[in-house]
Chains A and B, each alone.
Chain A
């Protein structure tokens, strides 16, 4: 069963064409992440799904029904915002129950759902507090709780973690993953952080300039990117791009190599000068220059390498990607 289908969705603001022919299917229970650089239209796409923006053309189906003209509250969705967007004048319990009261649910159902959500998110102690009395992480949990109590067909997350600090972000990421497992709900998640996308998603949708570049599971995209943009966007440190001419004369293509697929070898074909070394303990990232091109090599373990050193790099067998001038992937 498909939870969400987008067919030829276009969105323009005046002259500006923001979303271009988006087609997408999301299965029931899937965790889908929209990822892309800022300004690529991913948040707009989410707002179109939510019904906060109308489509200019194309159809949005939720649970098999066309919802182009259905108001947001009738679409069976719940949304978690980047800025939390809690109602400042209502306490945590009232923040969570407002939507249910609007739907005229019975008091028993409301109480039961709030209790359930509060237990899941460890918010029991805070139900009587106001948003201004909560920390950032707690507010974020309330925002998620407000979505959970509605038992929506579709959860929409708009960069929910970007206002949290790094440690909290890790924890909340785990909580969201757990939640997805517990609720078995369909979730759509927007982020510009590729590591969030890789760790959370069943399916990643990479967007650029309002177009879908590629859709697939995280590993599919990582191992088999269709173009240079997707290859460079996913993975950290990012993929290295070099002119293939460095390896064989006259080759016009662009060579792409992931940092972990570069290794030190005396018989390596690429001679490089070390510019900077990042010792991470478990890994060592070596940033080196090959002629004028900067590359990053990720070496497992600890290595005594210093800036200024010269050495040879080799590419692991079968781990090279080739791209043509326009950035399209070429089969090796």
Chain B
């Protein structure tokens, strides 16, 4: 009898939970794991300084976030999705088909990707071309002909005589990671493009070009170290010969243990990433479902908090967390777009 009662109570709560959906009083945010550390800080400040509840933030990855976000309009679906890249046209269409018509796009800042090693080792001075040659699956034939061979390089010296004769050993994120996507796009492709005949392929055979420029070698030198950037930092500390790939905020926090390598003549410093001279950085966005503004309490205030000078400004608390802020004029534009809630058009 007791048990039946218990089951009945749980079933009853289940029903009431369904009604609870009808009035969600907190903002639900999904999306990129790169934006997650920044969005959470804003959410916390928002929760503490206003009477609204603290938004709930899930780290689902940029792609996963878009999928959830675009499922539909209504309290059951997230209000905001974070992304470490721009929304794709296919995703935009998916949104439109599911009735998510009005989306506001907000650019919040930049994130630098660092190639670093232990502070006890010598700082590396690399170019994107070096990194491409060292880490791509297929590279141009070393004899100079215009053909591709499987990556034959074993040491950095093989890649570029100016580099030390240490074996290539790079710890990086797995394919599911946004950092990996950005690394492939910004570093590998960037280095790949320096070969004119491969660059020419882009016009003739785009798919082949992408395969060549974005494939990471799988024969050992590139070691998948898991999504956890902290783990990469720890491993670099233990292995002086290895290089690692991680987000700038981890370099910022662990400056006593690791150093960033110079890429294309620039060190990954706050200033150089901010002004765009450090080549490996990517924009961070979030997307807002306009129909939810007014339905979910505090949406507008949250947007204002995120785009206030004290948050995403050049000396705001997000920059303390390692986000690279936008330039002054960019920030004014973003803040103005937020005021008018300008629709994203593609």
| Chains A and B bind each other | no
List chain B positions with a Cβ less than 8 A from chain A. none
